[in-house]
Amino acid sequence: MVTFIVCIVLLIFGYMFYGKFIERVFEIYPNKETPAYSKQDGMDFVPMPAWKGWMIQLLNIAGLGPIFGAVAGALYGPVAFIWIVVGCIVAGGVHDYFSGMLSLRHGGAQFPKLVQHYLGKYIRVFTDIVSVVLMVLVAAAFVAGPAQLISSKTPISFIVALIIIFAYFILAAILPINKVIGRIYPIFGAILIIMAVSVAVALIFSGKEIPEITVQNLHPSGIPVWPLLMVTISCGAISGFHCTQSPIISRTVKHESEGRKVFYGAMIAEGIIALIWAAAGMTFFGGTEGLASKLQSVGPAGVVDQISIQLLGPVGGILALLGVIILPITTGDTALRSSRMIIEDFMKDKVNIKSKTLMILASFAVGIPAFFLSTIDYTFLWRYVGFTNQIVATVMLWVAVSYLLRYNKSHLVAGIPALFMTGAVSVYVLYAPEGLSLPYQTSIIGGAIVFVIIALLYVRAILKQNNTTVIGQPTQDLYS
């Protein structure tokens, strides 16, 4: 119990103090006109209140990620608390803040454009492909569960449910952000927050013993914490999907001073939600072995449903049902919207097509493969979501490092988590079944080699930067 409460307090303090420090490192211009005004178009560039931007950002990046991912991560035991708190404050919050604010500074640029500007055009091509693949996978993985639940609770078949959800996805992708997303997301955000807070309060007063902190690996299968925990719990700690979503909201921010609340603050809120569900997963079924058995029999949705009903009664059952249906859909629709925006940015100077036509074609270009992928096994999709997700997160952190080096700022705030994630991703690619599936020790050695190479390149960039002085900052009209 003490560990759980201390972790929540640490996350709040992380926002108040470390988030403020990151804001000072970035150096905001509170009175500078943002793209929401300079490029206002009634479609994507629309000024919104900070509270609404925060709520939409939270739903964009969260969905069921900090619930299902945290429940799966709870299999490792209380060591998951450490990763959620530390990862969220020093990695995820930094990642999300820089992805949102750099997009804002560059006129609402999509993530691949930032990659091209700071890391080069060749890495940008790789990033374009991986980012769109990630969002197609996310849209597919997050829609299958709701469609199955709808078909089990109503006379509607699974395929018809998929068609209905994807029809909504297309509409959300092509309609102005303030027409659909801006109106319904605050309601859905309230459901997410009420659900998490209610579970936390009920858990504290339930009389059940929430495990205290330990670094021991309690996973029933004995699979290693490093780096699998860092991929299992991504939403709630650090997630590359977030940097593909931040440009949606960077185009609506009224003042740069709102960035810490909207981007860093949404990440901290997601971390708290992940912490709550990790604690519930560890506590509710008599330990990690009981949780593993329950996940095997009823899946993550069933685990969430049982916890909610037994802690909160019929109201909890309704919240769980709404959450499992609504929350992944609110991630899938913005995944489709942001991939549409990336394809538009990539294609608009290469084809002679009207912007509205290109927008519709881009939406269907990602919507159709996502639809067909959603009909295959969810767990298979989720493995590849985690795989691509953390690759994108690592690239975004190196974008932040490049920016900080270029403008002679405190680059270690992004450099340390970038190195950490480079090591984690390298080992994971070598070890995981969806990667090269090498022996663990071999993967550790291979990951260490990659880590050392990247670290040496980082040191080289630092030494090179020490001989160069850059004054000023990028203007927000760089990509206008």
Q: Report angle CA 460, 464, 470 to the nearest 5 degrees.
A: 140
Binned at pLDDT 50, 70 and 90, residue 476 comes out as: very low
Q: Between the CA atoms of 397, 403, 406 and 407, what dihedral angle is there, to the nearest 10 degrees?
A: -130
Q: Does position 479 have pLDDT exceeding 50, yes or no?
A: no
The pLDDT value given to residue 380:
67
Binned at pLDDT 50, 70 and 90, residue 169 comes out as: confident
Q: Write the DSSP assignment of 267-285 as a string of letters.
A: HHHHHHHHHHHHHHHHHHT
Distance CA 49, CA 255 (A): 10
Distance CA 255, CA 158 (A): 44
Distance CA 290, CA 33 (A): 54
Q: Write the DSSP assignment of 370-419 as a string of letters.
A: HHHHTTS-HHHHHHHHHHHHHHHHHHHHHHHHHHHHHTT--THHHHHHHH
Q: Average the pLDDT over each of 60-64, 306-310, 409-413 and give the range with the smallest value.
A: 60-64
Determine what percent of the chain is predicted with pLDDT higher than 70.
Answer: 95
Predicted confidence (pLDDT) per residue in 343-377, tens digit: 877 777 667 777 778 788 878 877 888 888 887 76
Assess contact for 284 and 277: CB atoms under 8 A: no
Retrieve residue 405's tokens. 């080096």
Mean pLDDT of the chain: 88
384 versus 312: which is more confidently predicted? 312
Binned at pLDDT 50, 70 and 90, residue 469 comes out as: low
Determine what percent of the chain is predicted with pLDDT higher than 90.
Answer: 49
The pLDDT value given to residue 480:
47
Residue identified by tokens 């593909």 is: 244
The pLDDT value given to residue 378:
61
Predicted confidence (pLDDT) per residue in 404-453, tens digit: 999 999 999 999 999 999 999 999 999 998 889 999 999 999 999 999 99
CATH domain 29-391 topology: Amino acid/polyamine transporter I (1.20.1740)
Tally of CA atoms within 13 A in the half-sphere of 167 that contains its CB: 7
Q: Does position 107 have pLDDT exceeding 90, yes or no?
A: yes
Query: What global pTM score does this model have?
Result: 0.91
Q: Which amino acid is at 30?
A: P
- Domain ranges in the chain are 29-391
